[in-house]
Structure 1
Amino acid sequence: MELRQLQYFTVLAEELHFSRAAQRLHISQPPLSVAIKQLEAQLDAQLFERSSKEVRLTPAGTHLLAQARDILERARRAALDTRAVAHGMAGCLRLGFVGSSMYRGLPEALAQLQLLHPQVRVDLHELNSAEQVSALQQGKLDLALLHTMVVPDGLRARTLLREPFMACLPTHHALARQARVAVSDLSQERMVLFAESVSPEYFRSIRTLCQRAGFDPELRHEVRHWLSVLSLVSGGQGVSIVPACLQRVGMPGLAFRPLRQSAAHSELQAIWRPVPAHPLIDTLLQLLQERIAAVAAADAAPAPASD
């Protein structure tokens, strides 16, 4: 059976008149008659009783009508759903992310995506940068948000954000009383950093930053999550150098200070496989960049004057 045959059959079953059914289908009557005869031959069943005065459904025709309507409706919905997925209006996006993305506008961008496209589902996977690249290459992720790294062949990348590093100190630390902190001021401090195995580019950036200031960082703790870094610093277990976005966490016991005479930046990068193309990637990246810009504008706005 073909969908065209079922459509012709359904319209004729509703009209019970060949001429009216043909007009409704925008065809002439002979092709309709041929299609119905072919369908009856394929099913080895008479679907209509025909006379010079009327056309009536047979019991077999009545049985087929309900099923034909269901088949045509499912075909219609399948076409609509497929079109929606192809145009990024529905479907699933498997998204990997590093923890700092949560303070760079990702939750707000996801909320906006859900508002605009309620049929879209985003599956979130918090992984470190190396794990995300591996998952992309294995086809387990569609999009990765990670710290800057060398992009392997076959993947595409876009830098979403560049922001300065800041010194992260316990509020009771002497350096917290300064407006800015020189990297060299941290030479005698024990540091809490991301483990090199978790984020090699970040680890290398901080080590290079310290070495340019004339010292190698003394590592007190190496951890896997930003909240672990902040918690340990808040508890007086050391100091750290972190992306500026972590100021927004709001954890008590912490002081963030700009680094004096430092051009070092942390970057958030999006990486994905260009083939097969996933229409939801561009949609989410656009929303994320809009949110990042809004957050940057809010951070740059002068504080309101107090009374």
Structure 2
Amino acid sequence: MELRHLRSFVVAAEELHVGRAASRLHLTQPSLSRQIAALERDVGVPLFTRVRRRFGLTPAGEVFLAAARDIVRRADDAARDAQRAHRGELGTLRLGFVQSATFEAMPRLLAAFRAAHPDVTLTVSAMTTLRQVEALRDGHIDVGLLRPPISEPTLTTRVVSRDPLVVALPGGHPLTRRERVPLAALAEEPFVLYTREFGPAVQDAIIGHCMAAGFTPRIVQEAAGVQTIVSLVAAGLGVSLLIAPTPPTAERAVAYRPISDDIPTWELVLAWPTDNRKAVLDRFLAVAEQA
């Protein structure tokens, strides 16, 4: 049973006139008659009555018409969806992200992408940079929001933002009276820092900045998540150095202050496999470029 025969049958059933149906289908009348006859052979029963040049549906044809319309509609929908998927308007985009991306970059990018392509399914997963690099390399995610350094030659990256480190202080701490805090002023403070599992480069960089300011930070607590670090700072366990943007919090609980030292900013990048040819990824990258 051929799809083109079903299309011809539906049009002929709607017109109940071979000439008009053939004209709609851009066929000759003999060609249309042959297609209907072939369909009736496939089905095994007559679908049309032909009495004194009057053309009508048999009871079997009336039943068959509803199913034929549904098949034709679903075939058209499938073809249309395939075309949209080819253009990147349908499909699934799998995104990994580091936690520090959730406070500004990720909401901005995903809101812009959702507005532009509402029919694309987004799946998002919180992952450290190291886990994202592995997931990108193994094909488990399509694109990641992560913090360099990245030593993976199969990935392409694009900088989304360059973010500073800021000091997180317990509410009421004497240093909150300053607009900017020098790192040296933290020399005697207990520190709450990211775990090395979060990414050794982050902890190493923070320790390196402190050592350049003349001291080694006294780490009393480590945590993998920035929200947990902020909670520990609010509880008075210590101070911290965090990558901005930071979780919103009341000043009386945790106060954020810029660092007065001249230290490098920290890049947030989009990373994706160079050989990923998914059209939906191309669409996301185009939106990200504009956003």
TM-score by length of 1: 0.84
Residue 165 (structure 2) aligns with:
165
Q: Equivalents in 2 of 1:76, 1:233: separation in Å?
A: 59
Give, in angstroms, the shift of residue 206 of structure 1.
1.0
Question: Secondary structure of 1:162's match?
Answer: strand
Stretch of structure 1 that moved more, 1-10 or 39-48: 39-48
Give, in angstroms, the shift of residue 164 of structure 1.
1.3
Question: Secondary structure of 2:246's match?
Answer: helix
Stretch of structure 1 that moved more, 264-273 or 48-57: 48-57
CA shift in 2, pair 1:285/1:173, >3 Å: farther
Give, in angstroms, the shift of residue 42 of structure 1.
2.9
Matches within 5 A, 1:16-31: 16-31=16-31
Contact kept? 1:147, 1:199, Cα under 8 Å: no
Give, in angstroms, the shift of residue 114 of structure 1.
3.4
Give, in angstroms, the shift of residue 187 of structure 1.
2.5
Give, in angstroms, the shift of residue 264 of structure 1.
1.8
Residue 120 (structure 2) aligns with:
120
Amino acid across the alignment from 1:168: A
Q: Deviations over 1:228-279 (max 9, x none)?
A: 1111112211111112311644464222222223232122111223444334
Stretch of structure 1 that moved more, 38-47 or 18-27: 38-47
Amino acid across the alignment from 2:3: L
Residue 175 (structure 1) aligns with:
175
Question: Secondary structure of 1:107's match?
Answer: helix
Amino acid across the alignment from 1:244: A
The percentage of aligned residue pairs carrying the same residue is 36
Contact kept? 1:147, 1:269, Cα under 8 Å: yes
Q: Deviations over 1:130-163 (max 9, x none)?
A: 2222222333322211222314232222110102
Q: Equivalents in 2 of 1:185, 1:199: separation in Å?
A: 26
Q: Equivalents in 2 of 1:12, 1:290: separation in Å?
A: 50
CA shift in 2, pair 1:260/1:289, >3 Å: farther
Amino acid across the alignment from 1:157: T
Question: Secondary structure of 2:222's match?
Answer: strand
Residue 70 (structure 2) aligns with:
70
Q: Equivalents in 1 of 2:118, 2:28: separation in Å?
A: 43
Q: Deviations over 1:190-249 (max 9, x none)?
A: 211111112222122212212322333221111011011111112211111112311644
Indicate yes or no: 2:100 matched with 1:104.
Answer: no
Stretch of structure 1 that moved more, 75-84 or 6-15: 75-84
Contact kept? 1:145, 1:269, Cα under 8 Å: yes
Q: Deviations over 1:100-150 (max 9, x none)?
A: 112124224434443444323322212222222222233332221122231
Q: Equivalents in 2 of 1:290, 1:194: separation in Å?
A: 32
Stretch of structure 1 that moved more, 24-33 or 56-65: 56-65
Give, in angstroms, the shift of residue 181 of structure 1.
2.0
Q: Equivalents in 2 of 1:285, 1:256: separation in Å?
A: 32
CA shift in 2, pair 1:47/1:113, >3 Å: same
Count of residues in Structure 1 that have an aligned counterpart in Structure 2: 291
Q: Equivalents in 2 of 1:259, 1:233: separation in Å?
A: 17
Indicate yes or no: 2:200 matched with 1:200.
Answer: yes
- Mind listing any 5+ residue stretches in structure 1 that lack a counterpart? 292-307
Stretch of structure 1 that moved more, 187-196 or 111-120: 111-120
Q: Equivalents in 1 of 2:250, 2:90: separation in Å?
A: 35
Contact kept? 2:100, 2:244, Cα under 8 Å: no
TM-score by length of 2: 0.88
Q: Equivalents in 1 of 2:237, 2:284: separation in Å?
A: 38
Residue 58 (structure 2) aligns with:
58
Amino acid across the alignment from 2:162: R
Give, in angstroms, the shift of residue 97 of structure 1.
1.4
Give, in angstroms, the shift of residue 89 of structure 1.
3.1
Question: Secondary structure of 1:188's match?
Answer: coil
Residue 232 (structure 2) aligns with:
232
Amino acid across the alignment from 1:36: I
Residue 82 (structure 1) aligns with:
82
Amino acid across the alignment from 2:4: R
Amino acid across the alignment from 1:215: F
- Mind listing any 5+ residue stretches in structure 2 that lack a counterpart? none
Amino acid across the alignment from 2:191: M
Question: Secondary structure of 1:264's match?
Answer: coil
Residue 150 (structure 1) aligns with:
150
